[in-house]
Amino acid sequence: MSAAESQIRAKVRMVAQNARSFGTLSTGERIAVAMVLDRYDLLQDAWGSMLEAVHRLGPEWTEAALRIQRHGWLDEI
């Protein structure tokens, strides 16, 4: 698991346990968490349009978020 995947997975778990913690995340973390959780309402709060959010996230973090969403964030990959 990459460092990006580990970081995103930890932040997703944190937000899933306490939604208020979303506000403490960096912009990139907010975007990744919103995408993994399919929370487009959070994505709009974090950045705006989906395409701009993906652009802001960059290829490494976008791919890491996609892997986490595909394989699940509750268990280790």
23-35 tens-digit pLDDT: 899 999 999 999 9
Average pLDDT taken over every residue of the chain: 88
Distances (CA, A) of 38 to 30, 69: 12, 9
Provide the pLDDT for residue 77.
38
Q: What is the pLDDT of residue 42?
A: 85
- How confident is the model over 40-60, as a mean pLDDT? 85
Query: What's this model's pTM, rounded to 2 decimal places?
Result: 0.86
* Tokens read off for 65: 């978020």
Q: Where are the domains of the chain?
A: 3-71
Q: Are 49 and 55 in contact (CB under 8 A)?
A: no
